[in-house]
Structure 1
Amino acid sequence: MTPYDDIEPETDRALDELLDAASDEAESETIERPPFAAVLGRARRLDPSLAAPEHRARPAARDRDDDAELVAALAPFVEAARAEAEADAIDRGRRSPPGLPRGGGPRLVRWTIVGGALAAAAAVLLLLGLLDVRDAQRAAQDRNDDQVMDQVEHERRVHEAETGGEQPEPLARAPRRRGTTTPGVPPATPDYVLPDHQAPLEELTPEEEPELEPTPEPEPVAEPTPAARRDRKREALRRLDEQAQSRLAAGDVAGAERAYRAIVRSGGHGALAELAYGDLFTLAHGRGDAKAQRELWQEYLRRFPRGRFADDARAGLCRRAAAAERTHCWERYLDDFPTGAYHRQAARALSRDEGPAPGEPAP
């Protein structure tokens, strides 16, 4: 689990809340529509021919007296309503009608604010995640540096012991106490005789002890910075590489392999670690150890899936795969390395497994 997995639910909740708020705000907005009278007045101004013709009272039918009386009774009211409507239309026509609401005003501002809030929240969460990752990397770097220094010191001691470096001085033999005898050897007879009376002892004057000056306390050593640790690690890996090369030149293949293994363990994903894998491939191939080669290829691909030796490692695993798995292995190789160094060999292997095409002779 990475530090990003720990903050992912919080990011989802924050984004959901902001999107819900933006959606509610957009749905609550109402579009202001102009009144029908304003639309009618604008149409009449644009095209005067659309003005309503004068309405006159419909002549009463000569053969329907009742209708004529009703029309005559309602005529004043109809004329008054018509006059009022026309006056209202003329008055609205003199004034400019309200324009249609612009969709890019408040809504654009709101969406800009929402987008800025989302970007700020994402930036804060990303910054927190990067800080956590950096702290974890620093802690892992410190542990790797300590392991590298211990490994270098151990390899130096082993190298000195193997090349005949300085040996510790032998312990001095303790003097034999008086009165002890060696088995099988008679005790020697002393050539002197002790006197009957002991001579008086002279008084010894004690010497004054010199005054010792106070020893100054050692100054505290500051802890190395991360940059200094990285430099120490690079220097330690470089010394290990030189040590491996010198042992290989001297014919000590086992010692060189141990040094390359130390570089692989402590080098992480660096260039020296990848080159150490290449030297280990060569040593395993030289002694004909197929099992060690296969294990080294698998270990290398787990750490460097797209490294400089990935093409060779994938092809080597496919060549040594079981018959039931070889076809699938070469297919995956062509998917990942369609123009790799072994793509022709992969194509030939797949054509043999699938059989000859129609019209082609069998191999």
Structure 2
Amino acid sequence: MDVFDQYLFDEITKCYERTNLSSEDYEELYQRFENLNHVPEVRPYLFAMRYFGWGTKSDPEGVLSELRVLTADARDVSICGLYYDLLLFENENDSNAISNLKEYADEGYLDVYLKDRSHLHSVTKKVEPPKEKAKVDQRTNTPEIIKYKRMSFESCGYSGLYFTAGDIDYLSARVYIEPLKTTRKLKVRSQIYDGDNAFSDVFSDEYTLKPGTTNFKTNGWGNKNFYGYSDGIYKWIVELDGDNTYSQEFRIYGGKLTKSGVRVRDVKLFASKSSGALEKDRDNYKSAFEAKSLEYIYFKLFIDEPGSDMTVQIFIKVTCLEDNSVFCNKYELQELDSNTIACWNGVGYSQPGKWNKGLYQYSVRIGDGQKQEGTFAVY
């Protein structure tokens, strides 16, 4: 998967790992997984959530039927392991499922999908070594290996991968790693690149990370007067202990975020491709869409001319009225020219045929402006 999908995947799975999630939490997670369903690693999570009814309608028979076909056609460790894990949830004495789950455990199947309902521990506990110690060679005092996961950025209360130059001073990287099992000293060097050219000096940090640590924050780069970055895409590179290097791109928009936004006069809906709104579709407005051919629904916002160039936040929320589940709740940064009269953003799936049929409600707004609400149907 690409760096942006990896970032989203790691963020969602981290939330999924939490205990005591509410039904609303699961609804949000299910939708976020669905929006990333073009990534193969997401499939086992969606199957598990459908089986137990976490954030969606429970369909254990349908899930087992689909998994049975998939295990016959391909040897995906996660899919096959999940199938036998679910069979053991239904019948913990199923000897065939026990034998197969052991096999897939040896090949790397994990209990992350079913969480505390997994039977993985019960079928592998006899062959597990007793109380594995932290992976440190006491004879040579070899430091524990740092396992990098992802990187995001922070400044002035904003976080993520997208920022406006006038709203950030010193931008810092937050580096996420697998939880440590030992106390670990770490030296980190960072440098920011604009294309192939070094944008910043090399700056260094030293840390003493405690057991259980999952992230650390680097020094910042910028200036106290803001506008230390120009409009463009940058790459932040970190080097850990003078050995492994990792990188993450981030996007800076020029100017400041106009929080007040602009007035939305009307909203029209049209369907088009997930890769972008095709010109031929942009004026084909609808309020009902055919599920089998539907990928993305775009919300075209007709606005008052801003009068000056600006960057705004566009908020979109879509709710399925069949069960009041939240289909989408997000915001995007949008650049507007002084004479812009319309812009659009979309929600949906990367492939047709994924939408559930039913009635949906939407609300959209720009910045702090008034919400525009309406409904649409998928049939």
| TM-score strictly above 0.5 | no
Relative to its length, the structure with more helix (as a share) is 1
Larger Rg: 1
Q: Which TM-score applies when normalising by structure 2? A: 0.23
Q: TM-score, normalised by structure 1?
A: 0.23
